[in-house]
Structures are given as C-alpha cells and as structure tokens.
Amino acid sequence: MNTSALSNKGTLTKSAIGKIEAKKETHSSKAQKKTATPTFTNIVNIEISSTVKKTSDNETNVPVKKVIPNISVNSRWAQNGMTVAGGHGHGDATDQLSSPYGLFVGDTQTMVIADSWNHRIIQWKMGDTDGQVVAGGNDQGNRLDQLDRPIDVLIDKETDSLIICEAGNRRVVRWSCESDTTEGEILIDNIRCWGLAMDSQRYIYISDTDNHEVRRYQIGNENGIIVAGGNGEGTRLNQLNFPTYVFVDQQQNVYVSDNANHRVMKWGKDAKEGIIVAGGQGKGNALTQLSSPQGLFVDTMGTIYVADCINDRVMRWSKGAKQGTVVVGGNGEGKGENQFNGLRGLSFDRHGNLYVVDCRNHRVQRFSIA
C-alpha cells in the first residue's frame, strides 16, 4: 500500500492512499489506556429528535438530538486562540496529540478528537491538562481493539457510542462509550473514508476519497446510496475530486469540502448535481478562493465555515455570497496563537466558540466568540 506523506500544507495527491504521513515518528512516552466514559449532553438551539424503541429490559435508548448553534452573521471571534487539547509537542502521552484530524464538541465542554498518528480517540474536558483514551490506543493495527489512522469521529447519542472513520484500515467502526469497552465493531468495510456526518434519522454520510463520492448508509446496511459525486474524479457540478469533510443540515442537504477542486459543494436531497457555495475560483488566497478545504460547519442560517488548509485560515461564507471573510488565522504558517499549520476539523460549542484542529502543531485551538 502506498502511504505517501501528506505535505505540511495539506496538498493532496491521488496516489497517496490515506493522505496522511507515511512515517510514524518515535514517541517518548506511553499513552494511558482508556479509563473513563465520555459524556455529552445536547444543546438547545436547534434539536431534531427521532423516536426509538426499547432495546432490552434494562436499557432504553435516548432520542437523537442534532443541535446546530445559531450564530449571528455579525459575530466576531478573538484572533488569538487558546490551546484546549495538546500543545505539548508531538507525542503519545495523554497531554499530547500526534497529527489530530477530526473532532466532536459536546455540550458539557468535552471534546473527542481523532488523534490520528496515535491511532486512538481521545476525550478532553475543557480545563484539563490531560485527555483520556476512549477508543484504540493499543498501537497501530487492524484488530478490533486497534485503530489505524482515524480521521473523523462522531457521537451517536442513541446508542451511546463513537462512530469512527479509519483511513488506514479502510473501515468505519463503532465503539460503545461504556467504560468497560475493549474493542469496536465494524459497520462498513473496504471504504477509503475521510469525513463522517449523521442526520436526524441516524443515516450516516461518509466521504470516499478513492471514488470521489459521498454515500448515505443506514446503520446495519453496508450498501450505501450515493448522495454527492459518484461520477468519477472531475470538476463538473456532478463530480467531486477528493472529498474530505462533510456536513448535513436539517433538510438533508449535503455539504462537501471538495478538496482538490478547492471548493465547497452543496447537494440537495436527491439532487443529480451540486452547486458551488464557497470557493470554486481555483486554488489561491483571494477572498473568492479556497486552497485544499478541510473541516466544514454550516449554521442554522446557512452560513458556511470552512478550514482553508493551505491558506492557514478559517473562512466564513454567508448564504449566497460570492466571496468569504476571514474569521481567524490568515497570518501565515506558524505556531503563534493567531497562526495554524495544517488545518483539519472544526466545530462550535453551544455558545458559538470556535474549535479548530491545528494538525501540524499537534493541538486544538479555541477561539472565543466576542
């Protein structure tokens, strides 16, 4: 398997399987095994629930609630970020991260992070100096108690479990959040997955970077339905070129970071082609352009927030806008509080604070809403 390195700026080539660093660096300290159950409560801005049935005499699943913060179009954020996870250099101690990618932010001010090159999912509570391993962390491998370069993670509240995309093992797995869980189960196999999303009906949306498409899956069924792309690699409106992160709104519109086309696409439910909603003017750093977009978030107003990887900035595109505005970053590659080096996932908490995965600086930064 070709595991060519991802460049420091996130440039992606089709021959580089996984698009992550190929060489695992030596770590100086051992990560602790998972010791705690991640806890999440739902925020109240927008909630979409689905009714579920009792699964056993002793267990009743809770309703799914997908919550999206309502962020004012005039909102501003502090320009200097605060490190809330990692930031102690590259390593596998529980106060360190190693090339993190995706993250999920819970209402209890708790994050779960795809700590890719530590081959683990780590939970981090705000204010803590150390995280806790909640999946993987048993070295790189393909056993059910191991992960191989996890790229994205989400929480399925209905089953109280983590759903994890593994680039190295070409699979999507589920790990229970119960504290005594020692291994996961395979949900979908043989897919070069990158981004994950879940809608209010508990369908999972997965981007496939080999086939340049996004598919929707019902849990328990590996035969997904194409909802974006699927017409080969290309630049046409019915095509994608290395789709990375995905976001699904309340109407089941699918937003895709179309990485190698340097644009964000929106595909309506049952659409045959998408529309460009950010970028699409070629690779560059003008306000009309993106360069290898990664993490993606869409608020209740349809405003798009995207990690503009190579430009080391987070951009905001209002609905229907022809150009974006810089939210944070844009100050060149670096380790400063207002700088990034290899942006990946992003998210918001219930208050509108912005969280950004700064991959090459091995940290997660929080930018407080003003």
| Residue pLDDT, tens place only, 27-49 | 334 334 333 433 333 333 444 33
Q: What is the mean pLDDT of residues 94-117?
A: 93
Residue 343 · residue 357 · CB < 8 Å: yes
Close Cβ partners of 89 (under 8 Å, ≥ 6 residues apart): 96, 362
Q: Which domains does the chain have, with CATH numbers?
A: 82-367 (2.120.10.30)
What does the alpha-carbon distance between residue 215 and residue 199 come to, in Å, rounded to a whole number?
13
Show the CA angle centred on residue 8, arms to residues 195 and 315, nearest 5°: 55
Close Cβ partners of 308 (under 8 Å, ≥ 6 residues apart): 290, 291, 292, 293, 314, 315, 329, 343
What pLDDT digit, counting tens, does each position of 200-253 carry? 999 999 999 999 999 999 999 999 999 999 999 999 999 999 999 999 999 999
Task: With residue 154 as reference, give the H or E element that holds it.
Answer: strand 150-156
The DSSP 8-state label assigned to residue 126 in this structure reads T
What does the alpha-carbon distance between residue 300 and residue 369 come to, in Å, rounded to a whole number?
17
Q: Which of 81, 118, 8 is nearest to 346 (CA)?
A: 81
Record the pTM: 0.85
Q: What is the mean pLDDT of residues 39-60?
A: 36
What pLDDT digit, counting tens, does each position of 97-107 carry? 999 999 999 87
Q: Per residue in 309-328, is it b (16+ CB within 10 Å) or e — as a string?
A: bbbbbbbbbeeeeeebebbb
What does the alpha-carbon distance between residue 112 and residue 188 come to, in Å, rounded to a whole number?
21
What does the alpha-carbon distance between residue 184 and residue 147 come to, in Å, rounded to a whole number?
9
- Residue 260, φ and ψ in degrees, nearest 5: -75, -10
